[in-house]
């Protein structure tokens, strides 16, 4: 089922929660709606579900306008943050529920229902928990039941609102795998809301980055992480160092640093900010390249495969963060307090006045 969202607007009182949202979702895609609190993710999900009315715009399922069709008839499966399992029903009955309440004509036989529930429970590795009640399960297990329950009715669209939000980091990671697995198995068009960048980058086919009721960027995880099209997306999708300087003759000048910028800038002698991810900071013991500037090592966090290094640039009196692989770190034999030389390997420049920053 493909989903098309065209020029959707939604206002709550005088507050514009969604401001002209347009988006195409292909059949079978797993899409993450990612953005800070209040950016409109849940409102958009609820509008797709038919749980919220829109003020303007249309929603199409497989090209058919379903804007006026009510939620029940949209054939959507839901998974919410707070496990909405029926407390008084066993795991089996929870998963079977959507099938059992179907009108007699379309209801599968008891045996068919049992087979389906067992297949789903074995997919989420809970086949031995069929007779338990929700309060006898962990949070992660409950969300797996919720996932199985949502899929039991073979929805055309699966909507998940911060499905793993209430769980601890390790369980969240585990559940991401489940979501991906179930998605691959059922190939149902799925949209999940999250404010967790790592979760979105890890699971989604494409990410829709939202900010203040608008879409900032849509793309694959690689697109949005490696080629953010705005300072907001850069900032929101990971750690970043800022080189706040000026654009002069096609170069960014920031303190003693002068380096090339992408082509396409016609402005000259204007304020410009270079964005650099920590792993794009090159560190050397000597200034082997012309655009290297000195910096002092303030702190080294060497736990795990990636070593984080806090640096201080004396020329501009600013701090930055660099990341190296442990091997590279060892080969450089870096010590706290030492002076080294740095340069951005990759620098994305934005002109503040283009983005009202
Ligand atoms: P969060 O991550 O915090 O859930 P979100 O991106 O999902 O945020 P929404 O829940 O869509 O954001 O809310 C967007 C804005 O609309 C918020 O400022 C919210 O307060 C407002 N809003 C949402 N629902 C209503 C409502 N029923 N009445 C009034 N304002 C609302």
Q: What would the two tokens of residue 202 be?
A: 């890890």
The β-bridge relationship of strands 189-194 and 30-34 is: parallel
Residues 283 and 261: beta-carbon distance below 8 Å: no
Per-position DSSP letters for 215-234, written without gaps between them? EEEEE-HHHHHHS-SSHHHH
Atom 30 of ligand 1 has which residue's CA nearest to it?
A: 12
Q: Is the pLDDT confidence value at 83 over 80?
A: no
From the CB of residue 72, how many other CB atoms can be counted at a distance below 10 Å? Answer: 8
Q: Is the pLDDT confidence value at 87 over 70?
A: yes
Dihedral of alpha carbons 343, 347, 351, 356, sign: negative
Q: Ligand 1 centroid to 14 CA: how many Å?
A: 13
Of the candidates 202, 182, 186, the residue with the CA atom closest to the CA atom of residue 194: 202
Please write the tens of the pLDDT for every residue from 37-79.
999 999 999 999 999 999 999 999 999 999 999 988 898 988 8
Question: If you average pLDDT over residues 96-100, what whole number do you get?
Answer: 92
Q: Is the pLDDT confidence value at 112 over 80?
A: yes
- Grade residue 357 by pLDDT with cuts at 50, 70 and 90: low
Atom 29 of ligand 1 has which residue's CA nearest to it?
A: 12
Is ligand 1 within 6 A of the CB of residue 155?
Answer: no
Atom 20 of ligand 1 has which residue's CA nearest to it?
A: 38
Is ligand 1 within 6 A of the CB of residue 259?
Answer: no
The rounded Cα 39 to chain-centroid distance in angstroms is 13
3-state secondary structure of 320: strand
Q: Ligand 1 centroid to 50 CA: how many Å?
A: 16
Q: Return the HEC string of 95-143.
A: HHHHHHCCCHHHCCCHHHHHHHHHHHHHHCCCHHHCCCCHHHCCHHHHH
Q: Is the pLDDT confidence value at 319 over 60?
A: yes
Q: Ligand 1 centroid to 42 CA: how many Å?
A: 7
Backbone Cα Rg of the chain? 25
Q: Rounded to whole angstroms, what are the CA distances from 229 to 124, 232, 233? A: 38, 8, 7
3-state secondary structure of 5: strand
Of the candidates 197, 198, 199, the residue with the CA atom closest to the CA atom of residue 209: 197
Q: Is the pLDDT confidence value at 257 over 80?
A: yes
pLDDT computed for residue 281 by the predictor? 97
11 pairs with which residues across the strands? 16
270-276, strands of its sheet edge to edge:
257-260, 251-254, 241-248, 270-276, 348-350
Is ligand 1 within 6 A of the CB of residue 194?
Answer: no
Q: Is the pLDDT confidence value at 160 over 60?
A: yes
The rounded Cα 103 to chain-centroid distance in angstroms is 38
Q: Rounded to whole angstroms, what are the CA distances from 97 to 21, 86, 100? A: 35, 9, 5
| 172-181, 279-288, 328-337, range with the lowest pLDDT | 172-181
Q: What would the two tokens of residue 186 be?
A: 């059922």
HSE of 185, CA atoms in CB hemisphere, 13 A:
16
Q: What would the two tokens of residue 341 be?
A: 């030389």
Please write the tens of the pLDDT for every residue from 164-193.
876 777 878 888 888 888 888 888 999 999
Question: If you average pLDDT over residues 11-23, what whole number do you get?
Answer: 96
Residues 199 and 39: beta-carbon distance below 8 Å: no
From the CB of residue 326, how many other CB atoms can be counted at a distance below 10 Å? Answer: 13
Atom 9 of ligand 1 has which residue's CA nearest to it?
A: 40
Is ligand 1 within 6 A of the CB of residue 35?
Answer: yes
Q: Is the pLDDT confidence value at 140 over 70?
A: yes
Q: Ligand 1 centroid to 5 CA: how many Å?
A: 19
Question: If you average pLDDT over residues 285-291, what whole number do you get?
Answer: 92
pLDDT computed for residue 342 by the predictor? 97
Distance CA 44, CA 210 (A): 10
Q: For residue 18, which atom of ligand 1 is closest to its CA? A: 14
Residues 257 and 272: beta-carbon distance below 8 Å: no
Residues 201 and 207: beta-carbon distance below 8 Å: yes
Dihedral of alpha carbons 277, 280, 286, 292, sign: negative
The β-bridge relationship of strands 76-80 and 157-161 is: parallel
């Amino acid at each position: 089922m493909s989903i098309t969202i065209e020029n959707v607007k939604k206002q709550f009182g005088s507050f514009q929660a969604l401001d002209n949202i347009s988006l195409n979702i292909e059949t079978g895609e797993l899409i993450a709606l990612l953005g800070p609190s209040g950016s409109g993710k849940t409102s958009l999900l609820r509008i797709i579900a038919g749980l919220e009315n829109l003020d303007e715009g249309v929603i199409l399922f497989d090209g058919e306008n379903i804007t006026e069709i009510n939620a029940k008839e949209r054939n959507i499966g839901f998974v919410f943050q707070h496990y909405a399992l029926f407390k008084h029903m066993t795991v089996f009955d929870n998963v079977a529920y959507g099938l059992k309440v179907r009108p007699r004509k379309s209801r599968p036989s008891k045996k068919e229902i049992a087979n389906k529930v067992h297949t789903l429970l074995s997919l989420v590795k809970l086949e031995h928990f069929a007779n338990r009640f929700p309060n006898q399960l962990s949070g992660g297990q409950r969300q797996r039941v919720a996932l199985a329950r949502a899929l039991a009715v073979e929805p055309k669209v699966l909507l998940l609102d911060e499905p793993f939000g209430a769980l601890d980091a390790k369980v969240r990671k585990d559940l991401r795998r489940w979501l991906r697995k179930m998605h691959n198995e059922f190939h149902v068009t799925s949209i999940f809301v999250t404010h967790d960048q790592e979760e979105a980058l890890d699971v989604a086919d494409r990410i829709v980055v939202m900010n203040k009721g608008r879409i900032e960027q849509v793309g694959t995880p690689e697109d949005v992480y490696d080629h953010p099209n705005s300072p907001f997306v850069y900032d929101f999708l990971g750690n970043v160092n800022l080189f706040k300087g000026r654009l002069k003759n096609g170069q960014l000048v920031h303190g003693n640093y002068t380096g090339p910028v992408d082509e396409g800038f016609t402005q000259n002698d204007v304020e410009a900010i270079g964005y650099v991810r920590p792993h794009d900071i090159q560190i050397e013991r000597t200034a082997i390249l012309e655009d290297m500037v000195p910096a002092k090592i303030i702190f080294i966090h060497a736990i795990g495969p990636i070593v984080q290094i806090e640096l201080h640039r004396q020329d501009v009196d600013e701090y930055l963060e660099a990341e190296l692989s442990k091997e590279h770190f060892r080969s450089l034999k870096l010590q706290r307090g030492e002076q080294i030389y740095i340069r951005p390997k990759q620098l994305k420049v934005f002109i503040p006045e283009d983005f009202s920053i």
